[in-house]
């Protein structure tokens, strides 16, 4: 157990209270700024955004749009997790692959999202745009986190298990996976926010039909500031829900791994 894990953790009620306090504080700041600006056209208030979101949620097109964008972003996110992990594992075993892949990963990491979007639009259909962009943006993050975790493994434990006659499958579950989990968790949790930001940005630029990005662009063109904030809130909420789901799933993986090793 790490030193951080040994520290006393705040109770669930205390954590919820702190989160609620932070949310209320920033809503009040938002409301204050809206009152200072004094124009719904320039800055909608939290109540205006909530009313717009409630109105949108009552339309069937709203849910179809959310599901469509979620599916595209999820596909790109899963592709990125697999590609980043495979490339990192290969680079960890073969120095030549490391020399070839790592500079390319750094370049992809530095290229603006809009450059990728414009390039992909020349080759791919709009419906695949968000998935491709998410995969391109998240893969470097996954690769770097996996590579860091691989480099910080305690190889002595692996060698001792090998000398002790422990099979490769059990060595993977008992030694490799527990040491890689921090990298997996970091790449997954941090990658969720990046996936939603890059995916929706791609939909806005590419004007993907029936997407959250298209609805954001329409709200901007029509000067519907309430709808703009409402759709932005949807993106934030979906990213948060996905992050919580990932944390829960990885927690279950840790628990299952501990039960397997006992």
Q: What is the pLDDT of residue 258?
A: 61
- The answer on 114 and 13 residing in a single domain is no
- Which residues are within 8 A (CB) of 221 and not within 5 positions of it... i.e. 6 or more apart? none
- The answer on 207 and 172 residing in a single domain is yes
- The answer on 132 and 170 residing in a single domain is yes
- The answer on 34 and 48 residing in a single domain is no
Q: What is the pLDDT of residue 2?
A: 42
Contact predicate 84/141, CB 8 Å? yes
The token duo for 244 is 């919580």
> What are phi and psi for residue 68, nearest 5 degrees?
-65, -50
Q: What is the gyration radius of the CA atoms in the chain, in angstroms?
A: 22
How far apart are alpha carbons 213 and 127 in whole angstroms? 12
- The answer on 204 and 128 residing in a single domain is yes
- The answer on 81 and 22 residing in a single domain is no
pLDDT in tens, 5-38: 444 555 667 778 888 898 889 889 988 998 998 8
| φ/ψ bin of 165: left (φ > 0), alpha (ψ from -120 to 50), beta (otherwise) | left
Is the model's pTM score more than 0.85? no
- The answer on 232 and 208 residing in a single domain is yes
pLDDT in tens, 234-255: 999 999 999 888 888 887 877 7
Angle at 129 between CA 128 and CA 132, to 5 degrees: 85
- The answer on 244 and 201 residing in a single domain is yes
Give the domain extent around 15: 1-38
Q: What is the pLDDT of residue 9?
A: 52
Q: What is the pLDDT of residue 116?
A: 87
Residue ranges for the chain with pLDDT beneath 70: 1-12, 153-177, 256-262
Q: What is the pLDDT of residue 234?
A: 94
The string over 30-43, giving b where at least 16 C-beta atoms fall within 10 Å of a residue's C-beta and e elsewhere, is beeebeeeeeeeeb
**DSSP secondary structure code for residue 59 in this structure:** S
- CATH code for the domain in which residue 257 is found: 1.10.3720.10
In the chain, the number of structural domains is 2
- The answer on 107 and 15 residing in a single domain is no
> What are phi and psi for residue 6, nearest 5 degrees?
-80, -20
- The answer on 155 and 139 residing in a single domain is yes
- The answer on 198 and 253 residing in a single domain is yes
- The answer on 98 and 221 residing in a single domain is yes
- Which residues are within 8 A (CB) of 76 and not within 5 positions of it... i.e. 6 or more apart? 130, 131, 132, 133, 134, 135, 138, 195, 199
Give the other-Cβ count within 10 Å of 255's Cβ: 10
């Amino acid at each position: 157990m790490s030193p951080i894990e040994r520290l006393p953790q705040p109770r669930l009620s205390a954590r919820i209270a702190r989160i609620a306090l932070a949310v209320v504080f920033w809503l009040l700041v938002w409301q204050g700024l809206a009152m200072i600006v004094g124009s719904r056209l320039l800055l909608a208030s939290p109540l205006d955004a909530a009313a717009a979101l409630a109105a949108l949620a009552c339309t069937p097109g709203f849910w179809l749009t959310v599901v469509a964008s979620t599916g595209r972003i999820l596909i790109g996110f899963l592709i990125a997790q697999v590609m980043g992990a495979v490339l990192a594992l290969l680079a960890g075993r073969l120095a030549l692959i490391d020399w070839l892949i790592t500079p390319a990963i750094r370049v992809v990491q530095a290229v603006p999202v809009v450059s990728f979007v414009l390039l992909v639009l020349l080759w791919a259909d709009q419906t695949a745009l968000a998935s491709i962009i998410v995969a391109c943006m998240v893969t470097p993050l996954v690769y770097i986190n996996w590579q860091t975790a691989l480099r910080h493994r305690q190889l002595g434990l692996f060698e001792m298990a090998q000398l002790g006659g422990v099979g490769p499958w059990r060595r993977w579950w008992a030694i490799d996976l527990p040491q890689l989990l921090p990298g997996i968790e970091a790449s997954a949790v941090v990658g969720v926010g990046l996936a939603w930001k890059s995916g929706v940005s791609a939909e806005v630029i590419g004007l993907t039909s029936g997407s959250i990005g298209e609805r954001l662009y329409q709200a901007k063109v029509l000067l519907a500031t309430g709808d703009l904030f409402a759709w932005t809130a949807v993106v934030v909420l979906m990213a948060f829900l996905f992050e919580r789901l990932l944390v829960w799933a990885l927690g279950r993986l840790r628990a299952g791994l501990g039960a397997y090793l006992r």
